[in-house]
Structure 1
Amino acid sequence: MPPASKIFTGFRALGFVSNHVPLAVRYHQKHNENYIVTCVGKSFHTYNCSKLGIVSVSDAHPDDISVLTVDRDLTFTACRNVIRAFTRGKQVIHTYEGHKSDVQLLLPFGSHLISVDVDSKVIIWDIRSEGQYTEIEFDTNIFDITAICHPSTYLNKILFGSKQGTLELWNVRKNSLIYSFTGWGVSVTVIEQAPAVDVVAVGLASGQIILHNLKYDETIMKFLQDWGPVTSISFRTDGHPIMTSGSANGHIGLWNLEDKKLLSQMRDSHLSSVTGMQCLPSEPLMVTSSSDNTLKVWIFDKPDGGGRLLRERSGHSAPVNMIRHYATNGHNILTAAQDCTMRSFSTLHDSHNKSLGRASYQKKSTKKKTLKYDQHKMPYVVNFVAEPTRQSDWDNVLACHRGLRVVTTWNYQKSTMGQYKFDHESFSEDANQHMHTIAQCVEITSCGNFGLIGYSSGHIHMYNLQSGIYRGSFGDPKGHDSCVQGLCVDGLNQMTVSAGRNGDVKFWKFKTKELIDTCELKTTVYRLLLHRESSMLAVGMDDFTIIIIDLDTRRIVRKFIGHDNRLTDMTFSTDARWLITAGMDCSLRVWDLPTGRMVDCFLVDTPVTSMSISPSYDFLATTHLDDVGVYLWANKTLFSHVALTALPSNYEPQIIDMPTTKKQVSEADVKEDDGEEEFLSAEFKSCEQINNELITLSLLPNSRWQNLLNLDIIKQRNKPKEPPKAPKAAPFFLPTVAGLTPTFAIEKETTENKTSKPDLGSLMPLCKLGQLLQEFTTRNKDSCDKVLDHLKSLGPSAIDTEIRSLSPELGGSNHVLKQFLIFVQDVLNTNRNFEIIQAYLGLFLKIHGETLSDDREIVTELENLSELQELSWKSIQDLFNQTLCLVNHVRTAVL
């Protein structure tokens, strides 16, 4: 089946850190390091705790992960009703299938795994054999399981908490109920083992935290947090009697167990519920995760015993509205999301990601308040433009906010909001008329000095970004009678283009702000996009069509029709050959401007809200509806040949798989391994083991094979310029023979009775190579190695002589020539000695080319050899292209 897209293929997803699934922590004894595992949808990430650097990314699941837990060696995940065990943080080695409902709880228990589904059916699995040890079924109307825990020192005992508020202690080996706790009449949300034996902490939906002694069924102490249900509990084990609890509001409470009181509060630690919390063993550190897409490490070093943020990894906590590539290297992507923040994501490494902060009317007052209750927070950014030309001198980002007339500036290099907020005084003077006026679009000139703002009232204002001074407006008093939908300035600051909602596209002189020309369109304009280098202007219309206008002639040169719903974004390729468009019909279409035809089209699961192609032409970045991630699509035309033929008018696009944090691999392709310890290096493979996967060279010196085709030239070059001189006559006037040791020449008897010359070829003996080829048999490794070893042992001149001796005129035969071709095919099939067999074959064809073409059987072997040679070269050419692309990318990367 052909791929859904000819040009693009999924590469990876950026901006995902964690979600609502609680984190898990494992201590690796060999590395002396704690590793944190977080869920990011269909995959999970493993981070080291020392730097929060990502260690591994798991293989993708068929659906979102619902539960995540770890033991000493393996990571267990539940996806719907299937449980998987991963080794090395990414590879599936065990699969457990038996539940009929979705799994909601997992607990590793020695050599067993306990799983609970939404129907309160408990299955105990043997981890290694994947078999079921026993099953326990509960009636959800009486005991609906919501929490599970293994009390320390309680052999084969498991404690279950229920939605009804009761607790039950079971012996899973005997499959019997040991004791039932009456509970507190409120749903149990979490159960955590305390450092003290027989004591567990029980979190309730009412906000209560109960420390209960299981041995005597007595409540030791109670705490109450006023922030809603308890979502997570953990205990410090570094010598301080502190219990930590997380709430659904994002607050964290620290409780002193000796004084039985609240020690400290960490308010607004997260923007949403604290789903995962774990105090690291014997360290004053705590890691937390939340559905706000953040992972944080806290250190307890404050005077009041509270925690201070030590390290953090985060992404957008709300869907992304707009993205644009920043600068010309294509390594950074600037994003704006509905969480009122702007961020920069790096396509090279996550350590280069940074946040530009959150929009605020008063930054100083915002720093004193928490972000969650910031009264000065501005609405989120809906449109922005960035120009890196003068980023070191002044603010270089302009942003429009939802429902606001004020336009803010941002500084990318300083990663903060700028000093200016543009709002012309004329709007304030006539407040009644401009009460509902909002900023619609912005533009920055290529020199980075001027910023243009288009308003819903039709006004177009220009400001100096260095001083913030107002530099006039286009039109008198306004440029359009309707809402300004787009603004563009050419690369030389000579012409400004603006588009009104009612379909009028106007061309202005940039310096004098005089109107040059107007292009009236019949349909409402939705978006404007200019490619400055080629002066191609793309106009997106509300009737789902795209019009291309040549800025020099101001004439319509192309019109593209194909989308079935509203356009969401457009982007030009670097060379202006492609225009890529996206719409609410979930399709992405690639239009070829020279031919005016659509060359690629594919569908995605959710509509694209914004997209941007890299200036280096290697990646297409997209954001999608109600999604916090940024998805990268690789351009296949850079590393393989793609035939960009026009698609037919009745072409039916196919849905393409969305990129994940790691390339998705089907379960059928996942190989089982023996489940060795995680993070161990893979087994070494010698050259003999990779022959079927890669091309292997012979490692012979180049002088033994590189000049085989040039021996004639070398001999001609080394030929003496003067003929050899006759040596001095020996005594007695006897003729001598030249050499290192002078010898006398003895005349041989000649036969005068010969009347005809005999067939010299039939009288000459067969050379050693010919004898080995006569003994050669197909698919016989020993006979193939004998021929090859013999050729390897010879020098260039000897190889030339041996191959020439295969000719029928010099003692060989057509059968021997055919055997040589079969021998070459066998060597090519092994993928070994690739360079020398090519040299031998080239010399063979050069010497015996005319003889080979006269024999029909040999011609058949030549055709077979040609097909095999084409396949071999194609595989190595693909490897060359892929490696060259990687080397070029690394060479040009600015780290």
Structure 2
Amino acid sequence: MSAGGSLAGGGSSLFSGFRVLGLYSNHVPHALRYHKKHREFYVVTAVGKCFHTYNVNRLGIVAVSNSLPDDISCVAADRMLVFAAAGQLISAFARNKEVVMCYHGHSQEVRVLLPLGDQLISADSGGDVIVWDVQGGDVYLRLQFDPATFDVTAMMHPSTYLNKVLLGSSQGALQLWNIKTSKLLFTFPGWSAGVTVLQQTPAVDTVGIGTATGRIIIHNIRLDETLMSFTQDWGPISSLAFRTDGPPIMASGSPQGHIAFWDLDRRQLVTQQRHAHSTAVATATFLHGEPLLVTNGADNAIKVWIFDQEGGGARLLRSRQGHSAPPTTIHHHGNDGKNILSAGQDGTLQSFSTVHERFNKNLGHGQFKQKKKKGLSYEELRLPAITSFSSAAARQSDWDGIVACHRGRLAATTWNYQRCTMGAHHLQPPVTRRDSIATAVAITSCGNFAVIGSSCGRVDVYNLQSGLHRGCYGDNNKAHSGAVRGVATDTLNQLSLTTGSDWLLKFWRFKTRKEEEQLKLNAAPASMMLHRDSGMLALALDDFTLLVVDIETRRVVRKFTGHHGNINDMTFSPDGRWLVTVAMDCTIRTWDLPSGCLVDCFLVAMAPVGVSLSPTGDFLVTTHVDSLGVYLWTNKSLCGPVGLRPLPADYQPAVETLPGVTADELEQEIASEEADDAFESADQLGAELVTLSLMPESRWKSLLHLDVIKRRNKPAAPPAAPAAAPFFLPTLPGLTPRFMSPTATEQETQVELLFLKSCFILLTLDDCVVVDCVVVVVVSMFVNLSCQISQSLFSFNEALCHIHITVMSFVFGLNVSDCNCVS
């Protein structure tokens, strides 16, 4: 390794991408599918270069598609496939994952897709409308329009209209085409407003048309007659949906995130759902035959509404939503490392679970106090975005355990994690300058106190249970001459540490609030992080350097250089051995404190702004510029030995791909409605190689000894059928049927009884000698007469008796000399 040359990196040796949390939807309208085999509805939403599939019953993610080269601009779905357009390319996905067909032919960005039977219709921004053969990928029909006169913005297939497609334009006109004969059937002049939505109503020949002026027209395309119209005051119509489970209700979406519900019988507005989404409603779709409405928007949210309220109103049944603006600050909450608190530019505070999405929490927006709510709009009630926060789980069941600072505000707010709401206290110092704002906050390890620093140099202490002010640090109520950049407290609440823009790090006695010592820094600090267990304090300076201070000796023990941009955030490993930092130079660096060396460094595509390492050390969490997700990285050192070596000063890190979304293994994977049980052979390794089985060893290892198994299981002799025997003979108990062999005395008794019963039957039948032997045998079974009773009841003629005896001996093969009654 030469001293002058740069050493190229091979990626991170310590962290590997695992998955991203909090990405659900964007501005692309969703597609709804119904799976007949599963009897369940699925919603498909686009997220960047891939799309996600969720089941509507639980909103659990069941599939994540492969990535496309560009961001997805529109999606559509039919019974078998999901179609996604990215730029000029259209891709067909099978089983919601794999690309099975690509359609090339557009020269501009595709913005509308419409599956129609075995064909797919697409329209781009250049005026080309192409009809594709889905199976072969060939162009069946191509229509060219002039965007200046007819710019296609919406497409719809009218119900029961065979091979017919209705096209809407931004100029307001509509055209009905037959795609089989390539003929224009009819042109509707329009209503002097651009068409944004075309939607089939439950009635045949009737279409709902949404315009850019907020007008909704219900039009009969067969008679070319307008049945009714409505006007929405919230701007253009972004979506239309019609309820099919009974009540004639129509839902219309708006760019403001509101949804209006119209009664088509009474032709009036029934109710409205304000702020259903914080951004424009991309699509609203009613489930067929159910009182459920599925909506998605650019605010990164999927919501399911149910209509069970009085007056026809809807309530939120279930939802999946993340940050609608990029998150800026993240911290792990609790000691198990399963929950991540995230504050974003959208003003919300959310909790993401690394276990399952159902454990996610949205603590909502901060709001002003009750007395300030009068006369303010919904937007004015919200507090600005959170700039920094601190949390403690020690007393969160008793009172609020989260304290947050807001942009441009002096008062800090408290939050309750268990109730998922904003707390009752607004922590504000009693006397201060009006232009001061809260800049740093820390909660003590016991969870009883909060230490808050402000831009005017004040550092105040508050009691979290009562929200009362308990004092401040420094003479004249000022701890620093400049803005406070960071505050921290030790484990036993003996020491408080503050740093400010005056280049000073100060040590205070927590209880008496007296200054003990101060340390002059080389530059103004940007942020501060304390590892309480080890007593190591990390400071990020404005000159892109890092300092590590031992709070016991109060001396600088490590100094790191290497970043080429502002250090945005940093975190310690649970054992205090590593310090992970992120900066605007798009690098994530890991520093080893005992050796004082850089041991890991890698690049990411977007600059990271927040980082947190879990208390268990299993996951590293990062947030990035212009990204709504929370990214998880696996710590490789927990899975096996990792060889870490000091990296040189001229080390050139490699780019690591940001992790993507993974489907939950517990959820059922949705597939197309093809035969799922069809066997597919494994991929052949080579022309002359053996294909390995995917089955467990217990299923195929016995095949190697099949001849031995057959020879061992071969019977010694063929099975012999048992001899025929009367069904009334006694048998021995056991698994093998065996007849009971009677003794000599029992045999004589049976012969006597059988003979006497036969004689009795012969005499009662008027001395008939020829009697059916079967009848005699059956009757003799149920007649229970003894030999003595037979002799006392009947006096036999000797000749007749001998005749009977002879006949019976002939029929049954009895020995007459053995009968005692005859002698």
Q: TM-score range, shorter-chain basis? A: 0.7 to 0.9
CA shift for structure 1 position 91: 2.5
Match of 2:459 in 1: 460
1:710-763 Cα offsets, whole Å, 9 max, x none, are: xxxxxxxxxxxxxxxxxxxxxxxxxxxxxxxxxxxxxxxxxxxxxxxxxxxxxx
Does the 8 A contact of 1:88 with 1:679 survive in 2? no
Change (3 A) 1:577 1:100: same
Q: 2:656 and 2:361 mapped to 1: Cα distance?
A: 30
Q: Does 1:136 align with 2:125?
A: no
Letter of the 1:466 partner, please give it.
Answer: Q
CA shift for structure 1 position 699: 9.3
**Please, what TM-score do these two structures have when normalized by structure 2?**
0.80
Letter of the 1:662 partner, please give it.
Answer: T
Match of 1:315 in 2: 322
1:341-377 Cα offsets, whole Å, 9 max, x none, are: 21110001000001112211236987x999x715432
Match of 1:324 in 2: 331
Q: 1:298 and 1:304 mapped to 2: Cα distance?
A: 15
Match of 2:414 in 1: 409
CA shift for structure 1 position 685: 8.2
Match of 1:836 in 2: none
Q: 2:708 and 2:623 mapped to 1: Cα distance?
A: 59
Letter of the 1:377 partner, please give it.
Answer: R
Give secondary structure in 1 for the equivalent of 2:358: helix
Does the 8 A contact of 1:89 with 1:678 survive in 2? no
Q: 2:281 and 2:361 mapped to 1: Cα distance?
A: 23
Q: 1:522 and 1:252 mapped to 2: Cα distance?
A: 56
Give secondary structure in 2 for the equivalent of 1:426: coil
Does the 8 A contact of 2:36 with 2:673 survive in 1? no
Change (3 A) 1:177 1:699: closer
Letter of the 1:222 partner, please give it.
Answer: S
In the TM superposition, 1:27-42 aligns within 5 A as 27-42=34-49
CA shift for structure 1 position 681: 7.3
Match of 2:286 in 1: 279
Change (3 A) 1:122 1:695: closer
CA shift for structure 1 position 492: 2.0
CA shift for structure 1 position 521: 1.0
Match of 2:530 in 1: 530
Does the 8 A contact of 1:540 with 1:546 survive in 2? yes
Q: Does 1:482 align with 2:487?
A: no
Match of 1:268 in 2: 275
1:554-608 Cα offsets, whole Å, 9 max, x none, are: 1111111111111110111111221111111111111111221212222222211
Q: 2:216 and 2:684 mapped to 1: Cα distance?
A: 62
Change (3 A) 1:358 1:681: farther
Match of 1:288 in 2: 295
CA shift for structure 1 position 155: 1.2
Q: 1:451 and 1:253 mapped to 2: Cα distance?
A: 45
Does the 8 A contact of 2:211 with 2:236 survive in 1? yes
Q: Does 1:86 align with 2:85?
A: no
Change (3 A) 1:399 1:681: farther
CA shift for structure 1 position 137: 1.4
**Please, what TM-score do these two structures have when normalized by structure 1?**
0.73
1:792-813 Cα offsets, whole Å, 9 max, x none, are: x9xxxxxxxxxxxxxxxxxxxx
Q: 1:337 and 1:626 mapped to 2: Cα distance?
A: 11
Q: Does 1:376 align with 2:381?
A: yes
Q: Does 1:399 align with 2:404?
A: yes
In the TM superposition, 1:408-427 aligns within 5 A as 408-427=413-432
Query: Given the alignment, which residue of 234, 238, 247 partners 1:240?
Result: 247
Give secondary structure in 2 for the equivalent of 1:351: helix
In the TM superposition, 1:510-589 aligns within 5 A as 510-589=510-589
Does the 8 A contact of 1:74 with 1:678 survive in 2? no
Deviates more, 1:212-221 or 1:495-504: 212-221
Q: Does 1:389 align with 2:394?
A: yes
Q: 2:463 and 2:609 mapped to 1: Cα distance?
A: 31
CA shift for structure 1 position 686: 10
Query: Given the alignment, which residue of 316, 338, 341 partners 2:345?
Result: 338
| Seq. identity, % | 48
Q: 1:197 and 1:415 mapped to 2: Cα distance?
A: 47
Match of 1:473 in 2: 472
Give secondary structure in 2 for the equivalent of 1:230: coil
For these two proteins, the number of residue pairs brought into alignment is 693
Give secondary structure in 1 for the equivalent of 2:431: helix
CA shift for structure 1 position 684: 8.3
Does the 8 A contact of 1:89 with 1:679 survive in 2? no
Q: Does 1:219 align with 2:226?
A: yes
Q: 2:495 and 2:457 mapped to 1: Cα distance?
A: 18
Match of 2:624 in 1: 624
Q: 2:159 and 2:455 mapped to 1: Cα distance?
A: 66
Q: 1:641 and 1:524 mapped to 2: Cα distance?
A: 39
Q: 1:571 and 1:679 mapped to 2: Cα distance?
A: 51
Q: 2:675 and 2:622 mapped to 1: Cα distance?
A: 33
Gaps spanning 5+ residues in structure 2: where?
A: 1-7, 664-670, 713-823
Does the 8 A contact of 1:87 with 1:677 survive in 2? no
Give secondary structure in 2 for the equivalent of 1:641: coil
1:407-438 Cα offsets, whole Å, 9 max, x none, are: 111111221122221112122xxxxxx11111
Q: Does 1:677 align with 2:673?
A: yes
Q: 2:693 and 2:502 mapped to 1: Cα distance?
A: 61
Match of 1:438 in 2: 437
Change (3 A) 1:593 1:205: same
1:488-541 Cα offsets, whole Å, 9 max, x none, are: 111122221111112111112222222222110121111111111111111100
CA shift for structure 1 position 18: 1.3
Q: Does 1:163 align with 2:170?
A: yes
Change (3 A) 1:161 1:699: closer
Does the 8 A contact of 1:58 with 1:662 survive in 2? no
Q: 2:186 and 2:695 mapped to 1: Cα distance?
A: 66
Q: Does 1:642 align with 2:642?
A: yes
Change (3 A) 1:465 1:685: farther
Match of 1:259 in 2: 266
Letter of the 2:320 partner, please give it.
Answer: R
Does the 8 A contact of 1:88 with 1:678 survive in 2? no
Q: 2:653 and 2:279 mapped to 1: Cα distance?
A: 39
Gaps spanning 5+ residues in structure 1: where?
A: 428-433, 664-674, 702-780, 794-895
Does the 8 A contact of 1:564 with 1:585 survive in 2? yes
Query: Given the alignment, which residue of 123, 136, 145 partners 2:130?
Result: 123
Q: 1:696 and 1:261 mapped to 2: Cα distance?
A: 64
CA shift for structure 1 position 788: 13
Match of 2:721 in 1: none
Change (3 A) 1:200 1:699: closer
Letter of the 2:456 partner, please give it.
Answer: S
In the TM superposition, 1:183-222 aligns within 5 A as 183-222=190-229
Give secondary structure in 2 for the equivalent of 1:637: helix
Does the 8 A contact of 1:60 with 1:662 survive in 2? no
Q: Which has the higher helix share?
A: 1
Deviates more, 1:536-545 or 1:253-262: 253-262
Change (3 A) 1:350 1:317: same
Q: Please tell me whether Structure 1 or Structure 2 has the larger radius of gyration of its CA atoms.
A: 2
Q: 1:586 and 1:686 mapped to 2: Cα distance?
A: 42
- Runs of 4+ in structure 1 over 4 Å off: 363-366, 678-691, 693-701, 785-790
Give secondary structure in 2 for the equivalent of 1:425: coil
